[in-house]
Each structure stands twice: as C-alpha cells, then as structure tokens.
Amino acid sequence: MRVKKTPGEFSHDTNPLTVVDKNGADTGIELTGGELVFNPSQSKSIQKFIKEGDESGLFRFMKDLLNKPQFK
C-alpha cells in the first residue's frame, strides 16, 4: 500500500470523506480532500526517526516519500 492523497478540496464542510469498513459500517473517522494516509510501515519509519531525533533522516525519508508519482 502506498501513501495516498485523499481526493477533492480540503474542506470538512463541502468535502467530508467518511471512512467505512468493507461492510459499509462507519468507523467514526472523517477525512477531507488533500490529506495523506500512511501505511503502518511508513508510520513506523516516521515514528522511529522522530524518537531518535534524526531530523536529517526524517527529512530524507519524507522528501523521498512525497516525491512519489501520486504527489506530482
């Protein structure tokens, strides 16, 4: 799973995106357009860099991640 940018404009008023499970049940989580979703591996890497205080590693990781085609 790659990082995905949610579709549409960033507005909870005009573009609320409700997260539902595979059965269509509301999870209680609302997103809106332009937000990023990270998979567990990416989240773990981000948390590791932060915990270690590795600003340059975090910067390189995020720069590489955000240069993926889906953000262009």
Closest CA to 36 of 67, 14, 66: 66
Closest CA to 31 of 1, 70, 4, 69: 4
> Rounded to 10 degrees, what is the CA torsion of 58, 63, 67, 71?
80
Q: Would the pLDDT of 42 be above 90?
A: no
Closest CA to 5 of 44, 41, 31: 31
pLDDT at 1: 45
Cα–Cα distance measured from residue 51 to residue 43, given in angstroms and rounded to the nearest whole number: 12
pLDDT tens-digit map of 52-70: 999 999 999 999 988 877 6
C-beta of residue 5 within 8 angstroms of C-beta of residue 71: yes
